Structure 1
Amino acid sequence: MPVTAVQIRVLGALVALLLSPLAPALDSPPALNLDPRTFTVSGLSSGAAMAVQVGVAHSSRVRGIGIVSGPPYLCAQGFVTKATNDCLTLGRTWLRELFGPMFGLSLFSSGERDIEVMDLIADTKKLAQRDRIDPVAHMAGQRIWEYRGSEDRVVGAKASAAQHTFFLHFNGLIVRGEPRATPHTLPTNDPSQGACDTSDEDFVSGCDFDAAGFMLRSLYKKPRARADDGAGQWYALRQADYVPVTPGMADPEAAMRMLGLAESAHVFVPERCRDEKCGVHVALHGCQQGMTDEAFQAFSEGGGYTRWAGPLRLVMLFPRVGAIKPLERGNWDSVGNPMGCWDWWGYTTPTDLHGYATRDAPQIRTLMNMVDSLGKTE
């Protein structure tokens, strides 16, 4: 039977889709030679806050934390108003835009506020004493890479300084990325990622600075490593399969939605990790970056991570969280998570002040379950 021109075009499109390195496959990763008992984690903005929470709560397993524009551990103290007004520089204007005029009260002010780091340190020690996080002694020697652009108008210099003081107190090995004039974004050295200013709405920008590369080389103590072309294969994990199911929430899909998690996380496996033993790095996007496929792709595929996966022998896990509209989960939830941020103020643990930052936090448990699954063989 003769092949028509339309059939040829359709066949060509299917072949291009299958061969494209930017198109995540729908199947789960194959059996890999991994040891997920220790891993590293990083993130941007709320993803950086979550990376810190995972790193502190599971400090016996997390050997390094990469922080790009993130607030310190427990900064929000379980309150969205404190998260936005004290830990960030956004103040009442942004709060009012998100949550309504009640947040325009005079007690909320724009600008930076001092952060009482010693209070955060004391609360961290109490959580460890109550066995809600790993013993703080494990943070000694933990490698920390932190960066904040001098033009960042979301996370201020005081929050960054508090982050530094916090890990210094626990004897973390801290490396600060050289300050550059970058806004609140993930800087890359790829000009196709957009202008290095606030007009770049996916928060991944071409800033002539490979933040992911500097960070990963620092965390793995391989400063001479060189990036490759990012060859490898994409896979997907169905996040509902890894959500901790509680007695009152027996449906994994419903539990996933209550936590604001998207349908799937993506996993990047460089070619060499099919045969060689590799490590695991978890990369967490910032607010809004999980709300659309385009923004999530910009972070996971355009953020620079994959070009270092092969040289550093790392399987990359990119979890994803979406938005929860105010009142979407019921009348008790007038705030929700409309910007699609990882939980760093308590929207998943409304009755537990510090619960969002402990080993039992539902988002953290989900992330750890996914990490553990990557090391299982068929």
Structure 2
Amino acid sequence: PLWPRPTSSALAGSAENDGPHPPSEVLMTYGKSFTRTLTRTLTAATFALTLGLGGAGGATAAVPSPTPGELRAYDIGSTYVSGVSSGGYLADQLHVAHSATFEGAGIFSAGAYDCAQGSVNTALYACMDTYMPRRTPAQLEQLTRDRAAAGRVDPVANLAGDPVWLHHGGNDQTVDRAVNDDLATYHRDFGANVSYDTSSAAGHAWVSPLGEVACASTASPYVNNCGDDPQRAMLTHLFGAPVQPATTAPLDGTLVRFDQNRHAPGGNAAAVSMGKDGFAYVPKACDSGTGGPCRLMVALHGCRQTYGQIGDAFMRQAHLNEYADTNRMIVLYPQATTSLDNPRGCWNWWGYGGDTHYADKSGRQITAIMSMVRQSGG
């Protein structure tokens, strides 16, 4: 093949043991199987930032300039999580590990809970591409039950009835649809209320009417415009009721920029491949504390979508703040960062950095985000 297969030395070792190429760099570089056609191979070689998500022109949304501050306790009535790609995997890990807190999840392009099993090779060749065997949804469901029995995740009974909204684009060549299908099966088997949209022509991306990338592409900043409004569909499903239309007026809230070190284990966000700064969009109605409780939405970017890499593009274009203003919703935007074993700024869904508990309550990034959630009143 014209796109060479990774060498055995490059793939050697675990996710926390760097070889000639850091395993996560291998994960980013060899995103699609070399057995595919030349056209698909060249496309993947150009775009495979594995779980790093796609640049064309499009509408631009406003977002307030960040205001330094701290998270404080708001009146939160319900808490949800959403994410794309590596952020989609972490969103699912958060939902499963803390199902007593999260009432539902919205996920663009990711697979079933702990598909990677702590292995970069499994993550790459079974949980994105699918030519290597991977654990079945039934096996991962039993793994989840075992972890629940050991107290490593919340009881699986909490997942029954939870709304789960899933999206996979027809031009996504980074995560195969079969992997996303497993995620749908996993939650259906636990009795969740699953809505699964496979009708889009999107590439590998978060899809939004404010996205600047052409629908079928996979290019930075990986927010695609397909002429529809997935956020309305997602929020309607998660909230179990119609939502108010997104505002078209200037946003009335504050984008709080807070120190993630205060929430990271050991007070060191960089040590768990998280950025110093995180963000929260707080609408005026929620900041004032009047008018009743607000919802909290944790929104997780994908690889190469961190603030350090693309600035506020994900927060501007995700089309969540516009719904936040009209639906009493605070949006929390935690931030990953790049590191030696995470050069693309991905969330930890395969066990990099020696975090063997990355998918359960003791996971370092999960611990940090849950500290943010609790500080916010979720």
TM class by shorter-chain length?
Answer: 0.7 to 0.9
**Is the 8 Å Cα contact of residues 80 and 103 (structure 2) preserved in structure 1?**
yes
How many Å apart are 1:203 and its aligned residue? 0.4
How many Å apart are 1:211 and its aligned residue? 2.2
Distance in 1 separating the partners of 2:133 and 2:222: 24
**Is the 8 Å Cα contact of residues 115 and 159 (structure 1) preserved in structure 2?**
no
**Is the 8 Å Cα contact of residues 43 and 67 (structure 1) preserved in structure 2?**
yes
Q: Deviations over 1:279-313 (max 9, x none)?
A: 211000001101635x2511112111101102221
Greater CA deviation, 269-278 or 23-32? Answer: 23-32
SS at match of 2:68: coil
Greater CA deviation, 146-155 or 204-213? Answer: 204-213
SS at match of 1:301: helix
SS at match of 1:64: strand
Does 2:306 match 1:290? yes
How many Å apart are 1:225 and its aligned residue? 2.4
How many Å apart are 1:119 and its aligned residue? 1.4
Does 2:68 match 1:26? yes
Does 2:90 match 1:75? no
Distance in 2 separating the partners of 1:145 and 1:195: 23
Distance in 1 separating the partners of 2:169 and 2:316: 22
How many Å apart are 1:264 and its aligned residue? 0.9
Does 2:199 match 1:179? yes
Paired amino acid for 2:301: H
Q: Deviations over 1:49-81 (max 9, x none)?
A: 000000000011110100100111010001111
Alignment match, 1:221: 240
Aligned residue pairs, count: 312
Does 2:176 match 1:161? no
Alignment match, 2:144: 124
Distance in 2 separating the partners of 1:26 and 1:312: 24
Distance 1:190 1:257, change over 3 A: closer
Distance in 1 separating the partners of 2:134 and 2:359: 21
Distance 1:263 1:224, change over 3 A: closer
Distance 1:308 1:112, change over 3 A: farther
Aligned partner (choices 343, 348, 351) of residue 343 of structure 1: 348
Distance in 2 separating the partners of 1:224 and 1:260: 35
CA-atom RMSD in angstroms: 2.0
Distance in 2 separating the partners of 1:263 and 1:209: 34
How many Å apart are 1:31 and its aligned residue? 5.5
Paired amino acid for 1:283: A
Distance in 1 separating the partners of 2:115 and 2:369: 21
SS at match of 2:312: helix
Q: Deviations over 1:122-171 (max 9, x none)?
A: 11111111110001111111110000001110111110110011001110
Paired amino acid for 1:25: T
- Deviating above 6 A after TM superposition, structure 1's stretches of 4 or more consecutive aligned residues are none
TM (norm. structure 1) is 0.78
TM (norm. structure 2) is 0.78
**Is the 8 Å Cα contact of residues 348 and 362 (structure 1) preserved in structure 2?**
no
Aligned partner (choices 234, 243, 246) of residue 264 of structure 2: 243
How many Å apart are 1:349 and its aligned residue? 3.8
SS at match of 1:151: coil
Q: Deviations over 1:228-271 (max 9, x none)?
A: 134311111200000122xxxxxx2xx32120100111110112
SS at match of 1:214: helix
Distance in 1 separating the partners of 2:160 and 2:75: 28
SS at match of 1:176: strand
**Is the 8 Å Cα contact of residues 128 and 179 (structure 2) preserved in structure 1?**
yes
Distance in 2 separating the partners of 1:368 and 1:202: 26
Alignment match, 1:362: 364
Distance in 2 separating the partners of 1:112 and 1:211: 31
Distance in 2 separating the partners of 1:291 and 1:53: 22
**Is the 8 Å Cα contact of residues 63 and 315 (structure 2) preserved in structure 1?**
no
Identity %: 29
| Residue ranges of structure 1 left out of the alignment (5+ in a row) | 1-19, 90-109, 246-251, 326-335
Distance 1:305 1:73, change over 3 A: same
Distance 1:50 1:227, change over 3 A: same
Distance in 1 separating the partners of 2:127 and 2:373: 29
Distance in 2 separating the partners of 1:46 and 1:119: 21
Distance in 2 separating the partners of 1:136 and 1:32: 28
Q: Give 1:1-378 correspondences, 5 Å limit.
A: 21-29=63-71, 32-35=74-77, 38-89=78-129, 115-190=135-210, 193-198=212-217, 200-229=219-248, 230-245=251-266, 252=267, 255-275=268-288, 276=290, 277-290=293-306, 292-293=308-309, 295-325=310-340, 336-350=341-355, 352=356, 355-375=357-377
How many Å apart are 1:224 and its aligned residue? 4.7
Give the number of the structure whose alpha-carbon radius of gyration is greater: 1
